[in-house]
């Protein structure tokens, strides 16, 4: 069993982390961010923090856990940009959600690379993330929001321009994720508050991420593991700490510290990928998502328990996110026919902007599509499932002249029956239309 140190847990409160691998170790500002927070809000120190103590008691008792029913969490991505590369396309957002859902449901393809010593405690967390389709007013709005602001250049907690003030949805309904050019004003990758710190500060609750680490931006490169940074940060959002404890990654004295999880071995932290490394007299769990290594593959059963107990708690409204009434209100489950047509960039409800017609609908997996343009435009048409994953591309960035266009006999016979969404994307307008396959 891992040694539990109350003092160790007093310091690891924020997690503004830099990229996994070669840059990760030198840029994580956990200690500096914690001291800044404590200076501004001494009441948030764990020894003074009732929310912190409440969560720790619940985790120790385990009485807030429910059965293995899956949790669903509505997510909104706020893309804060200055018309630079940080203004990433929607597709990268959908890729990021795919990665989260793979990692939190133990469907990541690299799970088979987990070393034998930790294979038995690798956990399926059972959390699914879905992009919201309704805003807090109950209106149709896709949870991918774009706002232009200089704040994108420094997403740090003490930046002169508060990136979280640029765009925010209520935290009792959504997990807020802010995408920026620089999450800490430098080369950092992302950071998040722990739930106990934001009990009375809802407008700063959520995750700040540098855009370059979102989705499969680094797929096929030796830095592909950097695209798991969001998994790491969601871990912090759900009350996980770095597995080495409160100090800086790589410090030799971390063997006496603790992350509050029984089945994560004590370690002084690592930034490479040495799955045989022993730093504290036992094998390090270097494949853990809460490490800084190049080969993240897993959460442990103990980390699962900590996250699920946190989700069942009312601390920082975590228990409101997954309630059925909230999932319906945010449009991630249930009938959402009133949201068949929305824009993706500004969320303004438009009245069928492209005169789109799907016939027949419902269909036996074959249908005709008709749409109209007022001028020559580049068009993308995609089929997405209810989780926002693009599973079929009808046309991809094809130029069409002004006028009516007819695409006959679109064949989706290789897809399962069910509810899908047909997306027509033209310039800065996305038309989302319900598609039923029988």
Domain that holds residue 95: 6-325
Work out the burial of residue 110: count CB atoms within 10 Å of its CB; fewer than 13 is exposed, 13-18 middle, 19 or more buried: middle
334 in a structural domain: no
The answer as to whether 195 is a domain residue is: yes
Q: Is residue 330 part of a domain?
A: no
What DSSP assignment string belongs to 23-69? Answer: THHHH--HHHHHHHHHHH-GGGSGGG-HHHHHHHHHHHH-TT---SP
* In a shared domain, residues 197 and 298: yes
Mean pLDDT check: name the lowest of 84-93, 154-163, 246-255.
Answer: 246-255
Domain check: are 238 and 355 in the same one?
A: no
CATH number for the domain that contains residue 424: 2.60.40
233 is catalytic: yes
Query: Can you tell me which residue has the tokens 């203004």?
Result: 87
Helix (H) or strand (E) holding 247: none
Verify that 41 and 174 share a domain, yes or no. Answer: yes
What proportion of the chain, given as a percentage, has pLDDT over 70?
82
The total number of structural domains that make up the chain: 2
Q: 228 and 296 share a domain? A: yes
Q: What is the mean pLDDT of the chain?
A: 82
pLDDT tens, 200-235? 989 989 999 999 889 887 776 766 777 888 999 999
Question: DSSP class of residue 193?
Answer: B
Q: Which helix (H) or strand (E) holds 336?
A: none
Residue with tokens 């009808």: 394
pLDDT digits (tens, 9 = 90+) for 357-395: 888 988 899 999 998 998 999 999 988 876 667 788 898
CATH number of the domain residue 30 falls in: 3.40.390.10
Out of 56, 95, 141, 233, the active site residue is 233
Provide the pLDDT for residue 432: 76
Give helix then strand counts, H and E, for the chain.
Answer: 11, 14
> Residues with Cβ < 8 Å from 73, sequence gap 6 or more?
127, 128, 129, 130, 175, 321, 322
pLDDT of residue 197: 87
Please identify, among 298, 325, 352, the residue that sits at the C-terminal boundary of a domain.
325
Position 248 in a domain: yes
Note the pLDDT of residue 141.
Answer: 86
What backbone torsions phi and psi does residue 422 show, to the nearest 5 degrees?
-95, 120
In a shared domain, residues 409 and 320 = no
Same domain (yes/no): 67, 204: yes
Give the torsion sign (CA, 108, 114, 116, 120): negative
Which tens digits make up the pLDDT trace of 319-371?
A: 999 999 999 999 998 764 456 544 333 333 445 678 888 889 888 999 999 98
- Using CA atoms, how far apart are residues 221 and 57, in angstroms rounded to an integer? 43
Residue 46 has pLDDT above 60, yes or no: yes
- State which of 301, 325, 349 marks the end of a domain: 325
Query: Minimal CA–CA distance to 129: which of 81, 178, 187, 70?
Result: 70
Regarding predicted confidence, which is higher, 62 or 21? 62
Of 325, 351, 377, which residue sits at a domain end?
325
């Amino acid at each position: 069993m891992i040694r539990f140190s109350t003092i160790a847990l007093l310091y690891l409160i924020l997690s503004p982390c830099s990229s996994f691998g070669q840059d990760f170790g030198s840029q994580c500002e956990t200690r500096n961010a914690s001291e800044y927070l404590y200076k501004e809000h001494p009441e948030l120190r764990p020894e003074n923090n009732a929310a912190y103590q409440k969560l720790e008691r619940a985790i120790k008792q385990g009485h807030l856990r429910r059965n293995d029913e899956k949790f669903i969490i509505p997510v909104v991505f706020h893309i804060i940009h200055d018309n630079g590369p940080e203004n990433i396309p929607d597709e990268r957002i959908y890729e990021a959600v795919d990665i989260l859902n793979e990692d939190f449901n133990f469907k990541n393809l690299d799970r088979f690379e987990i070393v034998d010593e930790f294979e038995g405690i690798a956990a399926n967390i059972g959390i699914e993330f879905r992009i919201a389709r309704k805003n807090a007013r109950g209106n149709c709005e896709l949870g991918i929001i774009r706002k232009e602001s200089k704040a994108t250049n420094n997403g740090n907690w003490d930046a002169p321009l508060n990136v979280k003030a640029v765009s925010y949805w209520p935290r009792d309904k959504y997990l807020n994720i802010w995408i920026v050019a620089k999450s800490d004003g430098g080369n950092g990758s992302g950071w998040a508050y722990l739930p106990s710190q934001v009990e009375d500060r809802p407008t700063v609750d959520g995750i700040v991420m540098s855009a370059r680490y979102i989705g499969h931006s680094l797929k096929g490169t030796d830095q592909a593991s950097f695209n798991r940074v969001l998994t790491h940060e969601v871990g912090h959002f759900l009350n996980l700490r770095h597995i080495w404890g409160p100090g800086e990654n790589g410090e030799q004295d971390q063997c006496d510290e603790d992350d509050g999880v029984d089945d994560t071995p004590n370690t002084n932290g690592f930034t490479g990928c040495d799955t045989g490394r022993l730093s504290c007299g036992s094998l390090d769990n270097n494949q853990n998502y809460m490490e800084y290594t190049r080969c993240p593959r897993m959460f442990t059963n103990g980390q699962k328990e900590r996250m699920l107990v946190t989700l069942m708690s009312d601390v920082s409204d975590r228990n409101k996110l997954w309630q059925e009434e909230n999932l319906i209100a945010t449009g991630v489950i249930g009938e959402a026919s009133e949201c068949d047509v929305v824009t993706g960039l500004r969320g303004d409800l438009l009245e069928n902007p492209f005169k789109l017609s799907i016939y027949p609908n419902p269909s036996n997996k074959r249908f005709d599509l008709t749409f109209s343009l007022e001028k020559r435009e580049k068009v993308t048409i995609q089929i997405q499932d209810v989780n926002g994953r693009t599973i079929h591309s009808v046309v991809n960035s094809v130029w069409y002249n002004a006028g009516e266009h007819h695409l006959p006999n679109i064949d989706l016979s290789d897809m399962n029956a069910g509810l899908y969404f047909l997306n027509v994307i033209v310039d800065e307008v996305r038309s989302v239309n319900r598609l039923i396959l029988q």
